[in-house]
């Protein structure tokens, strides 16, 4: 695709011209946008780019490890890994309201990011994987009557930011970003990854977040996602995940009574994420997921499937 190819050529040239001999910092999340931005910039300026990867403890199972290994091996990215799990769990203690949790996670993230950038003295630019819809959305959620959920991808950074921003994907839509990623050699599993919210599993453990609950959720979510991939449904749905409810219910396992958490399976189809319908996954598939989760994950004895459309429900539970 020549449009994509010439975009890459032009952007690479532009990045070189703007950055010159200076240093660039980029927050790598493992998602499509920041990954594509990282590889694009890395191709342009190589070791002048340092990526910061913050392990919040709220990522999918083994995600941090997988992302790091992959980028180090295939793209020779310079990645600074920050293990911040304990800080997030500590800060989230006692918080059970969605917006409160988002604020805590967003603030903590920015604080850690600032500390790390401070340590990497001398960078002039901050690169971000901002895409066109982020720009639009962050403009609209600033209006006082429009704050439905506060996304912290854009606009969470301090006003007096000492960096110049480098946002090479700012004018692209998601499908264009995926094409650029594929052209740059990013693997299918990164390019076609479902969106993952900034606050991560912090808003998928409903109510108070604890390390123990996150572990339970990670296991269940991993079973669901791996089955979707194995049975070739992953690419046919737009976003899929498990959420953990703070509700315990009674069950029976062998001759034992159990009293454990409830997991919600959520899968939606959508083009713009503003409206969405629940995915009509086959009953046998759902049955298999439910059995696997209940049998394999300690702490869950009941699985339900969310059949709500957006609107009036949202995609996430919080
Ligand atoms: P909702 O739940 O509002 O989600 O229907 C729409 C899309 O946005 C994602 N989402 C978020 N992304 N920070 C993010 O970066 C957030 O706080 C957040 N909340 C929701 C959600 O995963 C879905 O793709």
Q: What is the CATH number of the domain that holds 223?
A: 3.30.300.10
| Residue with CA at minimum distance from ligand 1 atom 21 | 197
Instruction: List the alpha helices (DSSP H) in the chain.
Output: 2-19, 32-45, 63-75, 85-92, 98-119, 132-140, 174-183, 188-191, 211-230, 283-296
The pTM for the full model equals 0.90
Instruction: List the alpha helices (DSSP H) in 120-262.
Output: 132-140, 174-183, 188-191, 211-230
Boundaries of domain holding 237:
204-305
- Asked whether residue 134 falls in the same domain as residue 221, the answer is no
One digit per residue, pLDDT tens: the chain, 318 residues?
899 999 999 999 999 999 999 999 999 998 899 999 999 999 999 999 999 999 999 999 999 888 888 888 889 899 999 999 999 999 999 999 999 999 999 999 999 998 998 888 889 999 999 999 888 877 754 443 334 444 444 445 555 557 899 999 999 999 999 999 999 999 988 999 999 999 999 999 999 999 999 999 999 999 999 999 999 999 999 999 999 999 999 999 889 999 999 999 999 999 989 999 999 999 999 999 999 999 999 999 999 999 999 999 999 999
d(CA 266, CA 316): 8
State how many domains the chain has. Answer: 2
Looking from the CA of residue 153, the nearest atom of ligand 1 is 15
Decide: residue 255, CB within 10 A, 0-12 exposed, 13-18 middle, 19+ buried. exposed
Domain end, chosen from 169, 191, 213, is at 191
- Asked whether residue 109 falls in the same domain as residue 9, the answer is yes
Looking from the CA of residue 317, the nearest atom of ligand 1 is 2
- For ligand 1, whether the C-beta of 266 sits within 6 Å is no
Q: Per the structure block, which two tokens stand in for 296?
A: 């394999």
Residue 198 lies in a domain: no
| 33 assigned binding-site residue | yes
Domain end, chosen from 191, 222, 243, is at 191
- Asked whether residue 82 falls in the same domain as residue 222, the answer is no
Domain end, chosen from 144, 163, 191, is at 191
- Asked whether residue 243 falls in the same domain as residue 133, the answer is no
Residue 311 preceded by cis peptide, ω within 30: yes
Which of 251, 277, 250, 253 is closest to 266 using CA atoms?
277
């Amino acid at each position: 695709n020549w449009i994509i190819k010439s975009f890459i050529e032009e952007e690479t040239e532009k990045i070189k011209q703007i950055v010159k001999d200076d240093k660039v910092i980029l927050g790598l999340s493992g998602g499509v946008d920041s990954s594509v931005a990282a590889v694009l910039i890395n191709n342009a300026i190589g070791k002048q780019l340092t990526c910061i990867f913050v392990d919040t403890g709220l990522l999918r199972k083994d995600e941090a490890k997988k992302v790091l290994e992959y980028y180090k091996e295939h793209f020779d990215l310079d990645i600074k890994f920050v293990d911040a799990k304990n800080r997030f769990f500590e800060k989230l203690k006692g918080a059970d309201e969605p917006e409160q949790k988002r604020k805590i996670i967003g603030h903590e993230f920015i604080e850690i990011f600032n500390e790390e950038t401070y340590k990497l003295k001398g960078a002039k630019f901050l690169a971000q994987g901002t895409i066109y819809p982020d720009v639009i959305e962050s403009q609209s959620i600033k209006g006082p009557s429009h704050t439905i959920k506060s996304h912290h991808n854009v606009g969470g950074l301090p006003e007096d930011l000492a960096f110049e921003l480098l946002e090479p994907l700012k004018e692209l839509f998601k499908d264009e970003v995926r094409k650029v990623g594929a052209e740059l050699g990013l693997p299918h599993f990164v390019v076609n990854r479902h969106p993952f919210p900034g606050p991560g599993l912090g808003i998928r453990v409903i109510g108070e977040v604890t390390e123990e609950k996150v572990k339970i959720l990670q296991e269940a979510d991993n079973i669901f996602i791996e089955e979707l991939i194995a049975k070739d449904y992953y690419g046919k749905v737009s976003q899929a995940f498990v959420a953990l409810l703070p509700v315990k219910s009674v069950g029976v396992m062998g001759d034992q009574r159990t009293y454990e958490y409830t997991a919600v399976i959520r899968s939606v189809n959508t083009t713009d994420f503003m409206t969405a319908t629940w995915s009509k996954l086959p009953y046998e598939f759902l049955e298999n997921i439910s059995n696997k989760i209940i049998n394999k994950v300690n702490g869950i004895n009941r699985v339900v499937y969310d059949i709500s459309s957006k609107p009036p429900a949202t995609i996430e539970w919080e």
